Amino acid sequence: MWTNAIKKIIVFSLVLVLQGSWMTPAMAVDALPALPAIVRACQDTFPAFKNAQPFTLPAARRLTTPAQFKIFLEQFQNQYHSYMQCIFDGAVQEILGSSGANSSGYWAANTPNIPQWLVPDVACISSQKLKAATENTGTDVLLPSTLKAYYAYSAFLAQFYKTYQENLTLSRAEDASAFLQQAKNAVVNELQDSLSALSSTFSQFTELREVFVMHVQFQCMLHNLEEYRVFLGKIRSIVLLLPARIIDASKLK
């Protein structure tokens, strides 16, 4: 009876010990004191990544096969990139939504219709509002959070690979070597691709912000030019009543 109890206590203790040793605090994206709103809105999409702590479980020790490695890696990729996608999609929505137009349906996949989120009437938004939208989504705002997530991801994958390296059990040594090399390639590629994607996204996003501001202003200018043109036409229709020979007021001597 008591031996069973002791056994349970010992197992529990071992689990706790193992938990402590496998904890990867870098994996958890702890909340910054003042996270940007866009990043804060994405925290809910990240619980799996933040709380996964996969190796705290007894099953973590069973990361012994290439198939398991692939499944795990894919899962972590999904978590991390979904989080990043959430941040940047939120930023794009923040930019485009600043026009005040309803952007619902805007995110519908493969939508055949162009969303009318920028008709000239609503395009004339104040430059302050535009400025706020662009500043809230600036690189300086988003970069710290995204970089922090990337470094967490990077450290986590390194730890993940190390676990795999230690646990991989195969009958042939040369197979183990090849599998480890492939796993290493996969992790390295993933990290390089992630960083590259981050850089590329920031470049594209900067361009989007710039173009959006100009587009809004151009649309607004077109709106006013249209007004100008309409009045001009009306004036002309009235002035047509005037006789052919008019004394040029500005050239009289």
Partner 1 sequence: MKKILLLIIALSALTFAKPALANEEFNNDLSGRGPGATESPRDQDTSFCGPNHPIHQFSLYTRAYCGAIATDNDSDVFQAVAAQFDLENTTLIKKIINGEPLKPDELTNPLRARYNLPQQINAFSVTPLIADVLAAYEKEKVIDRMKKNFKQEFASSEQWYNAALSDSPMDLLVDLNLIDVMLFGSQAQWNNDVYHFPGSTGGEAPSSPVIPGNGRESNPDPRLRGDDNSTGTTNTPPFNHATDCVPPDSPDAIPPSPGEIPRACGNNVLDRGEQCDDGNRVSGDGCGNTCRLEDVGTILCRDPEAITFRDFKPAPPASGGGTAGGGGSTSASEPAASDSSSECPAGTRPRQGLAHDVQRQGLPQSPHYPGPFVGGVLKNIALTIPPPCPPDESPIQIQYANSTSSTCVPTKWCANPDDVKSLMDKVRKAVLGAAWADNTDTKKIGDSIEAIFCVNVTTANRPESPYSLNEGCVDCQIRSMVTTLDKLLQYQIAPMENTRNAFGISNRWGPQFSFDLNLSMPSNPEIKFNEKVDALKQADAALNKIEQDRVHGSDPNTDINQPDSVRDTSVSNLTAEFTDFNQKQDEQAFTALRAYRANTDAAKEQDFSQDLIGLLNAWQQSFSNIQNVFLGLTDTLKFDQLRQCQ
- 84 contributes a contact to partner 1 by CB under 8 A: yes
Question: Smallest distance, Å, CB 180 to partner 1?
Answer: 7
User: Of 37 and 235, which CB lies nearer to partner 1 in the complex structure?
Assistant: 235
CA distances from 228 to 13, 195, 222, 233 (A): 80, 49, 9, 9
Sign of the CA dihedral running 213, 216, 219, 224: negative
Q: How many CB atoms lie within 10 A of CB 94?
A: 19
Question: What does residue 243 show for φ and ψ, rounded to 5 degrees?
Answer: -70, 170
What's the CA gap between 101 and 117, in Å, rounded? 5
The interface region with partner 1, picked from 22-30, 37-45, 150-158, 186-194 by CB under 8 A, is: 186-194
- 51 contributes a contact to partner 1 by CB under 8 A: no
Residues between 125 and 164 that touch partner 1 (CB under 8 A): 126-127, 130-131, 134-135
Residues 6+ apart with CB under 8 A from 144: 32
The interface region with partner 1, picked from 22-30, 38-46, 52-60, 155-163 by CB under 8 A, is: 52-60
Residue count, binding to partner 1 (CB under 8 A) = 123
What's the CA gap between 225 and 218, in Å, rounded? 10
User: Of 25 and 58, which CB lies nearer to partner 1 in the complex structure?
Assistant: 58
Residues between 215 and 244 that touch partner 1 (CB under 8 A): 215, 217-222, 224-244
- 92 contributes a contact to partner 1 by CB under 8 A: yes
